Amino acid sequence: MTDTDKLQILLQLGQEISKEKSLDTALIKISQYARDLIDADRSSIFLYDSQSNELWTKVAHGIDGEIRFPSNKGVAGYAFLSQDVQVVVDAYEDFRFNKEIDKETKYQTNDILAVPLINSKNICFGVFQAINKHNGTFNSDDVKMMTLLSTLVSSALETSSLIESLEYSKRKIIYKLSSAAEFKDEDTSKHTQRVGLYCELIAKEYGLNAKEVKLLKIAAPMHDVGKIGIADKILLKPGRLDFDEFNKMKEHSQMGYDILKDDDDIQLQMAATIALEHHEKFNGYGYPRGLKGEEISIYARMTSIADVFDALTSERPYKKPWSIERTVELLKQEKNEHFDGKLVDIFLNNLDEIKRIKEKLKD
């Protein structure tokens, strides 16, 4: 393979990786390209597990399942500890080689090229390894190529870690803001979290795809974010609201939508719709727009059931909690009136799991 061929392949890899949203798929592609570019039989990506002090296979050609071994063992272990490239010409004659892996995988290793994975903080967090070059042994050009590709691996993993961290932080902010909006006190209740988990359960059983289920689990807790704009004297009134107070309370749906609607984030777009529509009723007599049946977003219809069930079975400043039995009877009575009947059936068919969630996250 000429240098021009390699350059074209690298450009193609770069284009594919830039469009890839799945970390696992991206790493598999990088590993496959590495294997082909340096003419190796297999390549693997090992990551460091700090809790067990082991290296484990994130990606490994020809291996089913996961391989783990002490981080100070084998050629990969030497690369990890030394943070330096390791080249082995004859594995079974080299003291660095760990024969146990071949025994486990029933594979014959001849030569090895192992490159440490270094992050932007100059910390080694894994090893990129190739084994059994088809023609000859691994050379300096192969080392350069693997070192170059290792930067792609490091970048992909760091980006994924950052995204996960941001998603976690965003979820925490969402739950705190939603709880504060509901009770003006983030520590008062776990209502919003339970609503998210109830909706996740309904959505899975209904057949929404995995992405929608994940988004709904995080978006549903924001259903009452608009209550942050409602005066405490109304929100925390220890009794029934009068006509004017109730009309003012109803404004929280539009307020929530207005808070969330301008964001380009698909998660917040879903949350905005839920905030606006979760008090609509299946029979068309809800608010704020009097939507009917499937005019109401499926996400809002799910959230409506989860919200009402949890609100009724929880203590509020103005009421004692209802029993689950009494609440179930109300859900049955309101099938195809307040609530989507099909979704009520799904909810009640999974009542045991609903109870477990409520018990696990009780106030």
Place of tokens 């529509």: 277
* Tokens matching residue 11: 């450009």
Other beta carbons within 10 angstroms of residue 119's beta carbon come to 14
CA–CA distance from 142 to each of 69, 129, 134 (Å)? Answer: 25, 11, 12
Q: Which two tokens stand for residue 86?
A: 């390791």
Of 358, 312, 311, give the one whose Cα is nearest residue 183: 311
Is residue 227 annotated as a catalytic residue, yes or no?
Answer: yes
Which candidate in 29, 133, 190, 227 is catalytic?
Answer: 227
CB 243 within 8 A of CB 216: no
Question: What's the CA gap between 56 and 72, in Å, rounded?
Answer: 12
Which SS3 state, helix, strand or coil, does residue 204 take? helix
87 CB-near residues (< 8 Å, 6+ apart): 111, 112, 113, 114, 137, 138, 143
The burial of 325, by beta-carbon neighbours within 10 Å (0-12 exposed, 13-18 middle, 19 or more buried), is given as exposed
State the catalytic residues.
227
